[in-house]
């Protein structure tokens, strides 16, 4: 009578035939429990920390758990905020406070870029993101509170030509034309990013006036500084902070000779007070490409570059852009979030 075939234990994935299975360091939880396993990682990212928000593992999903990264984890009024989603195949939706998020494709997932207004009240700002589930399933909701700190604005008193404090009647039409030109330039359709690298300074120079300064001109006119001033002598080069399309080259009354770049994703950068312009409207430029030269045109106290950044309808701190990582690829970070299913 033939002997029955011996029964061998099933091989695990990737195990050689005849090999003895070794104990694994991974703990395989039951499917129902896997939905709630947390993932905790850590990150060091120059001065801006990231927050990783983990949606959790679906009991029936074979794909990795979607993860949300928030840059910065603690913001200030006027900061740009980058919300990056790793994992989902479709663009999520969401809001920060009461403002909707517009997600675009980045390597490894999707991201949304939004600005905080300078009037943002310090405290906690609610973030909500909805991720589509399997066909017929309810979306997953991720919530988090973004910490917004005190702005710490400086107060400065400046002396400029009186015509920039009380413009004469004959320049009112010019100023209105300037405003109309800016409105047209900022009306570009929302598009995917026109860049694939990190932002860089348009010139390596000392900051002479940071974003947010509260200014008084000639003891009368008050305004807030919606950009960063970088030192430089007349004629020194100014380069593109990142890839984009030139949407303005114009001599404006207050901003002087101006170059405006559209980078996609609702993001623009501005370069004011130039002595010369080296690009044309409609031209596609690369990061580091020469845009013009430092000057003292417009409302200035001396030669310098005013570098600005705008997201949709808000001027934001351009120096924060230098710290943002526009990718959803794997990285170490830390954080936690609440998860619920609608």
**Pairing mode of beta strands 140-148, 338-341:** antiparallel
| Residue range(s) occupied by CATH 2.70.70.10 in the chain | 155-321
pLDDT value for 50:
53
Phi–psi pair at 184, nearest 5 degrees:
-65, -45
Number of alpha carbons in the 13 Å side-chain half-sphere of residue 191: 13
Q: What is the residue whose two structure tokens read 């499917």?
A: 31
Q: What is the residue whose two structure tokens read 């969401």?
A: 94
Question: Is CATH 3.30.70.2740 the right assignment for the domain spanning 31-150+332-341?
Answer: no
Contact 275, 297 (CB under 8 A): yes
Cα(48)–Cα(323) distance, integer angstroms:
6
pTM given for the model: 0.77
Tell me which architecture the domain covering 155-321 has in CATH. Distorted Sandwich (2.70)
10 Å Cβ neighbour count for 224? 14
- Extract the tokens encoding 95: 């809001």
Phi–psi pair at 276, nearest 5 degrees:
-150, 150
**Cis before 72? omega within 30:** yes
Residue 322 parent element (H or E): none
pLDDT value for 63:
54
pLDDT value for 128:
94
| Residue range(s) occupied by CATH 2.60.40.1930 in the chain | 31-150+332-341
pLDDT value for 110:
94
The pLDDT profile of the chain, 342 residues, written as one tens digit per residue, is: 444 444 444 444 444 444 444 333 333 333 433 333 233 223 333 344 555 555 443 434 445 577 888 999 899 999 999 999 987 888 999 999 999 999 999 988 999 999 999 999 999 999 999 998 777 778 888 889 999 999 888 777 777 777 676 777 888 899 999 999 999 999 999 999 999 899 999 999 999 988 988 767 766 767 788 999 999 999 999 999 999 999 999 999 999 999 999 999 999 999 999 999 999 999 999 999 999 999 999 988 899 999 999 999 999 999 999 999 988 765 433 333 444 433
């Amino acid at each position: 009578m033939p002997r029955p075939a011996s029964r061998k234990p099933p091989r695990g994935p990737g195990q050689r035939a005849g090999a003895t299975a070794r104990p694994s360091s991974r703990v395989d939880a039951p499917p129902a429990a896997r939905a709630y396993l947390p993932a905790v990682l850590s990150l060091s990212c120059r001065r801006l920390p990231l927050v990783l928000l983990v949606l959790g593992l679906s009991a029936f999903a074979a794909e990795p758990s979607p993860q949300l990264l928030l840059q910065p984890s603690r913001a200030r009024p006027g900061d740009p905020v980058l919300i990056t989603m790793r994992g989902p195949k479709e663009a999520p939706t969401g809001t920060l406070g009461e403002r909707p998020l517009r997600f675009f494709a980045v390597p490894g997932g999707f991201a949304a870029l939004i600005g905080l207004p300078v009037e943002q009240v310090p405290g906690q700002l609610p973030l909500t993101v909805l991720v589509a589930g399997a066909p017929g399933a309810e979306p997953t909701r991720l919530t988090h509170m973004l910490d917004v700190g005190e702005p710490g604005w400086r107060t400065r008193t400046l002396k400029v030509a009186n015509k920039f404090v009380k413009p004469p009647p004959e320049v009112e039409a010019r100023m209105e034309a300037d405003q109309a030109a800016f409105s047209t330039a900022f009306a570009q359709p929302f598009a995917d990013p026109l860049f694939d690298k990190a932002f860089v300074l348009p010139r390596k120079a000392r900051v002479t006036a940071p974003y947010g300064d509260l200014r008084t001109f000639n003891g009368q006119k008050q305004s807030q500084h919606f950009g960063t001033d970088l030192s430089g002598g007349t004629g020194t080069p100014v380069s593109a902070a990142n890839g984009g399309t030139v949407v303005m080259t114009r001599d404006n009354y207050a901003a002087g000779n101006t170059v405006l770049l559209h980078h996609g994703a609702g993001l623009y950068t501005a370069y004011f007070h130039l002595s010369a312009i080296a690009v044309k409207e409609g031209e596609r430029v690369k990061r580091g490409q020469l845009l013009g030269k430092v000057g003292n045109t417009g409302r200035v106290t001396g030669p310098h570059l005013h570098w600005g950044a705008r997201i949709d309808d808000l001027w934001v701190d351009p120096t924060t852009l230098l710290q943002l990582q526009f990718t959803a690829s794997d990285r170490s970070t830390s954080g936690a979030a609440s998860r619920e299913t609608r």
